[in-house]
Copies of this chain bind each other. A is one copy, B any other.
Amino acid sequence: MKFKTKNIDITSMAFKNVVLLNKKDTDKLGIKAHDRLLLKHKDKEISAIVDVTQTFLEPGFIGLYKNVYDKLDVPENTEITVSLTKAPDSITYIQEKMASKLPYTKKQINSILRDIYDRNLSAIEIAVYLMTQEYIPLSSEEIEYLTRGMAELGQILDWDETIYTKHSIGGVPGNKVSLLIVPIVASTGLLIPKISTRAITSPAGTADTMEIFSDIEFNAEEIKEMALKTCGTICWGGKLDLSPADSIISSVESMLNLDPDSQIIASILSKQLALGVNKMVLDLPQGLYTKVKTIKDARKFSHRFIEIADRIGIRLECGITYGGQPVGYNIGPALEAREALETLMGHGPNSLIEKSVELAGILLELGCKAERGNGYRVAEKILKTGKALEKFREIIEIQGGSKNIKPEDIEIGELTHDYCAYDDGYVKDISNLLINKIARTLGCPKFKGAGIKLFVKEGHKVSKGQPLMKLYAQKEENLTNALEIIEKNDPAIYIESMLLDRIGRE
């Protein structure tokens, strides 16, 4: 059939392309919810599902939502050919997997990924794909196909040198270690063009924090050019088109609150594969609110990661780290940037120094810049002698920032509130989950100056009324909302007295 196009500036959250038709047309054609239409214009084809209107569009017209008119590239009021089309084969593959529990073939995995990327699958279909992985774990071979397939959908960088990187599976607030690890490693001459993300659910991604110091948005050529000069860069990956199906899959995962192991592995490794990484260290924080809850889980997950990395030619070592409470004392982009810079300048907290030096040390060993077992000491020396600071300033400069920046130059939120101990006792627990939530509510990562400075760590002795943490905000409303969250929930910092119970006559 022929329909005349009309552009509608609506971005639908359905993941699948959506178009609008008049109810008279859908009735005439017998179109039901989630039937697929094939739109053709010149050499372009797009498949879409249908929203329905009775008055908003005349019969004979087809409303193209933003994703669709951007991609189909057709002027308004153009006659295009529209036909009913069947669901793509990849849906059959997913359904067959559910029924038979047999492994996917390489061709099937590539076809599923391609259809996700082309928006041929709706959110609900991607959900089924992910749920199936949760219940029928993929084989190593399937994860290899998945990893390669995801990488091959996007840009692949090509270097003539050995490329190093560090990555974390996340879940711990205050984890600014990349800002220390990259300069430590780069200062030895190893190439570490670190690609970071912005925060999705955490208060500050490495990219958000690095943005305090310099630009972070560069294309692949620029990153390559900079890295070949300084050995290290810390940039945002958002414009690089590395493993581009991943962001669609991640959005569905976050809606489902679901994170199948196989998809985490493929997501992380596909990006490193596309970036051209040869050797990497993976930080696996273990704790109640991270992906790996126990040391046993962490070990199992590490072996799985290493096996898949081997298959795709990446030499990987995992560092299982303590993820039970925030790293360092500062949470939020500006506060974390300050703490990272102070630490590079020689006066930072132990937890941050130790974690950074441990992970950097593994990379130095992998790159033969330190003997096996000696990486920690070499990395520590690089940090203590100021070489890492020097390299960090070099990185800031090449990325367009001011190399002479001092910690006090970094602006933090002017609205503050001290949260004080409600009792005498010992800090028994600091909830990563609540710290994240409070920091988000304070405005992180959008308002760079928002965040939390902790004054205590687990095990510290505290007296009633003593400040436990300071909240920073840029807007009154954010501070009010954060205080409300603190009031409504269990304490974010839990204090227990030595006397656990008292039994006797009243």
Contact = CB atoms under 8 A, between A and B. Distances in A.
A11 B131 CA distance: 28
A251 interface: yes
B11 A52 contact: yes
A124 interface: yes
A122 B252 CA distance: 12
Interface string A8-43: 111111100010100000000010011000000000
B95 A9 contact: no
A8 B252 contact: no
Copies of this chain per assembly? 2
A17 to B, nearest CB: 12
How big is chain A's contact interface, by range?
A: 35 or more
A404 interface: no
Contacts of A251: 33-34
Contacts of A56: 8-10
A123 interface: yes
A316 B255 CA distance: 41
A9 B54 CA distance: 7
A102 interface: no
A268 interface: no
A111 to B, nearest CB: 17
Nearest to A55: B9
A131 B127 CA distance: 9
A46 interface: no
Q: Kindly name the residue among A49, A122, A127 whose own CB sees the greatest number of chain B CB atoms within 10 A.
A: A127
A125 B124 CA distance: 8
Interface in A90-148: 91, 95, 98, 122-125, 127-128, 131-132, 134-135
Given A131-B131, A255-B34, A446-B30, A14 B14 contact: yes
B13 A252 contact: no
A405 interface: no
Interface of A: 8-14, 18, 20, 30, 33-34, 49-56, 91, 95, 98, 122-125, 127-128, 131-132, 134-135, 251-252, 255-258, 446
9 contacts: A9-B53, A9-B56, A10-B56, A11-B53, A12-B51, A30-B446, A124-B127, A128-B131, A135-B135
Given A123-B124, A127-B127, 13 more contacts: A9-B53, A9-B54, A9-B55, A10-B52, A10-B53, A10-B56, A13-B18, A14-B14, A30-B446, A98-B258, A124-B127, A124-B252, A128-B131
